[in-house]
Amino acid sequence: MPRVLITGAAGFLGSHLVDRALREGFDVIGVDNLITGNLRNLAHLADDSRFTFVNQDICEPLKVEGDLAGVFNFASPASPIDYYEYPIETLRVGSEGTLNCLELAREKGARFLQASTSECYGDPQVHPQVESYWGNVNPVGPRSCYDEAKRYAEALAMAYHRHYKVETRLMRIFNTYGSRMRLDDGRVVPSLLSKAIRGEALTIFGDGSQTRSFTYVDDLLEGAWRLWESDEVYPVNVGNPEEYTILEFAEKVQSLVGSQHEILFSPLPKDDPLRRKPDITKANKLFGYEPKVKLNEGLERCFPWFKEHALLEDSAK
């Protein structure tokens, strides 16, 4: 069986990617140091002989016996709460960690895919964001540990491609949601869903007029897989361009959960982008990418998972 290695495998996206790679017929080595991930996300694979888990910080060199067809680098604290708590770890995993993944890909002749981010565009002055836009990132602001690490990782991948001819792929992921997100990771979907499930007021930042686009996890993985199979070396946006204000999103959560909880407004965090929306023309032209799951449907699909886990967490307290 061909094999791939996935870093960040115990995280939200990484664990779903493990499932997808297994379904695609690959054996999978999942690597994670559990800084923000949880082995619960991989518990369903405990008896799957095609999956191996390695508890390791990818800032240490990656040693693998035998062949590898791919290295997917999904390791990094990813929510603002997490990278504010772990700024140095975030910079290190984006730089040293990515370097180790690229070295492994070079050694094995494996194709490399980097989970990059819409944060590369910073607080964008071009809307919607197109790959040719170089971004508006504050290099010394509180988000810079994440944004600059991801931008460095893209530069590193391009250097490995140009210098060593490693087959590299750069996926700029836009705000994605689904089951297995941590309820307390501060991102808007788990945060508002779990508050609504618990009957608490929904707190939103600013006046709620800032917009976000929301990508359902299955759509994201479809894009990841198609990009990995494509020939494109330069960054490709993968996301859902349907744009909602945060206030509209909070109202959708209210109607999904079925009761009217109060909406509270708190100050907008520094450098919080006001608008985010991917231009996905490139992904569409390159590999026919088109997200299928509308926000209402995606929320309905993952709502039972969030409900179960919010209640589990409450009963464990």
Of the candidate residues 4, 5, 8, 108, the single one contacting ligand NAD (CB under 6 A): 8
Q: Say which of 146, 160, 177, 289 is annotated catalytic.
A: 146
Q: Look up 84 and say whether it is catalytic.
A: no
Under rule CB under 6 A, residue 76 binds ligand NAD: yes
Site size toward ligand NAD, by CB under 6 A: 29
Of the candidate residues 3, 4, 12, 20, the single one contacting ligand NAD (CB under 6 A): 12
The phi and psi torsions of 176 (rounded to 5 degrees) equal -120, 145
Tokens of 307: 């409900």
Under rule CB under 6 A, residue 153 binds ligand NAD: no
Quick check: helix, strand or coil at residue 313?
helix
d(CA 214, CA 192): 14
Under rule CB under 6 A, residue 97 binds ligand NAD: yes
Contacts of 159 (CB under 8 A, 6+ apart): none
Q: Contact 179/305 with Cβ under 8 angstroms?
A: yes
d(CA 133, CA 116): 15
d(CA 214, CA 175): 5
Per the listing, tokens 């990009």 go with: 227
d(CA 6, CA 72): 5
How many CA atoms lie less than 13 Å away from 259 in the CB half-sphere?
11
Under rule CB under 6 A, residue 58 binds ligand NAD: yes
Under rule CB under 6 A, residue 302 binds ligand NAD: no
Cβ at position 173, least distance to ligand NAD in Å: 4
Cβ at position 304, least distance to ligand NAD in Å: 20
Of the candidate residues 28, 115, 280, 302, the single one contacting ligand NAD (CB under 6 A): 115
Per the listing, tokens 């299955």 go with: 218
Cβ at position 192, least distance to ligand NAD in Å: 15
Under rule CB under 6 A, residue 173 binds ligand NAD: yes
| CB nearer ligand NAD, residue 175 or residue 191 | 175
| CB nearer ligand NAD, residue 7 or residue 144 | 7
| CB nearer ligand NAD, residue 7 or residue 129 | 7
| CB nearer ligand NAD, residue 117 or residue 240 | 117
Contacts of 317 (CB under 8 A, 6+ apart): none
d(CA 200, CA 194): 9
Tokens of 1: 């069986």
Of the candidate residues 4, 7, 161, 277, the single one contacting ligand NAD (CB under 6 A): 7
Under rule CB under 6 A, residue 178 binds ligand NAD: no
Contact range with ligand NAD by CB under 6 A, out of 32-40, 196-204, 270-278, 304-312: 32-40
Indicate the residue type of 276.
R
d(CA 138, CA 226): 32
Judged by the rule CB under 6 A, the positions of this chain that interact with ligand NAD are 7-8, 10-14, 31-37, 57-59, 74-78, 93, 97, 115, 117, 173, 175-176
Catalytic residues: 146
